[in-house]
Amino acid sequence: MLVALTREFGHNEELRAWVGSRAEVVEVALTTTTYRTRAEVEHEIRESRNFGRFASLVVTSARAHEFLGLVGTALVGAPEVFSVGAATSRALTRSGFDVTVESPGAASELAAFITHGPVLVLAARRGRSELIDELNARSLEPTLVECYETHAVELSDEACGQLARADVVFIGAPSAWRVARAVVREDAWVLVPGTTTFEEVRAAHDRVLIGWGEEFALAWARVMATTS
């Protein structure tokens, strides 16, 4: 059994721990990230009309960790803090924040738990809009600060070969799937973090499961039941 971890190098350790000794693991990075400067992000936060009044903070990725030190003065009182993924929660904890609710998959899954605005959202450029749309619909005054951008990589022949051999492929975002889908075998299982990526993969690939975090054990059991 070969499992492909496809997040950027240095961001796959949590996935590797889930797999453990169950299978051989290979890393094939499908995306790369560019970051805005701290000065740019700080200026945007300070210039937002609700600076110093934000009652809630949403952080959609651990990639925003270097900007967490900039948001303290933007918040008021004891803000509610929301994260996407365990790695993001750990980054927030290290920066002194207590996470109120963590979504294991999509940011949109946090919408129902956010009750206090205004809301400061640290996220990726050109990300999904469902969370912002929902918060606007409920008059919670979200302010989106785009901290980074992910880009597709051009796969080498070696990387294509590794993906083509993989029996299980972790895909963390629709952008990653768009790089991988032409290479992943039809009979390979694709494990994703939430409904957004699930829908993207399912449109072109039958064997897809939500299988990150608490969902991993159940998803792995199904994979094994179909490959043993």
pLDDT in tens, 23-32: 999 999 998 8
**E-state strands within 36-193:** 54-59, 75-84, 101-103, 119-124, 142-152, 168-170, 189-192
- Report the C-alpha gap between 17 and 164 in whole angstroms: 23
Indicate the pLDDT class of residue 228, thresholds 50, 70 and 90. Answer: low
pLDDT tens digits along 84-138: 887 889 899 999 999 999 987 778 888 999 999 999 999 988 777 889 999 999 9
Distance, CA of 160 to CA of 196 (rounded, Å): 25
182-215: per-residue pLDDT in tens? 999 999 999 998 777 888 999 999 999 999 888 8
- Please name each of the domains of the chain with its CATH number: 2-30+153-227 (3.40.50.10090), 34-150 (3.40.50.10090)
In angstroms, the CA 75 to CA 52 distance is 5
